[in-house]
Amino acid sequence: MANFRLATGAAAVLAAALIADLDSDTDPGYIELYTGTQPAGPGTAVTDQTLLGTAVLSADPSATNSGGLITFNAITQDDAADASGTATWMRLYRGDDTAFADMDVGDLASSATAKMNTVTVVAGGPIKINAFTIQIGG
């Protein structure tokens, strides 16, 4: 089994570069939340998954970096979900509509990358991401 661990300084450099790339457009990045199976990666098209709604990242900077731990700033909730369903994953986009990353979603008690009060979404209701962190290295 492969084993690769970054020093904290190197992880911080990579995290800063990721944040800078995500914030490189004049428009803020955004998140689309979906039902169903997460695709192989952000380059893979969404097929039969249902788009539940879209949340918008805060203006630059969208996140902070502490030794490689990326913590996203407050994310603007979607006040009216597009559809009902269970949120299972999300796709992060740069402001220029370039798919940036895919990740899991869970409730506040989960170990998911992005956390919500509940992953049960009701059409027309709000969608709020309460916490969103990514650890680089470690």
pTM of the model: 0.94
The CA distance from 75 to 24, in Å, is 17
Q: What is the DSSP string of 69-103?
A: EEEE---BPBSS-SS-EE--EEEEE-TTS-EEEEE
**Does pLDDT of 108 surpass 90?**
yes
Question: pLDDT value at position 1?
Answer: 74
Using one digit for the tens of pLDDT, what is the confidence trace for 30-80?
999 999 999 999 999 999 999 999 999 997 799 999 999 999 999 999 999
Q: Are 117 and 105 in contact (CB under 8 A)?
A: no
**Pairing mode of beta strands 99-107, 30-34:** unpaired
Q: Which amino acid is at 118?
A: T
Query: Across all residues in the chain, what is the average pLDDT?
Result: 96
Q: In the structure, what pLDDT confidence band is assigned to residue 3 with cuts at 50, 70 and 90?
A: confident
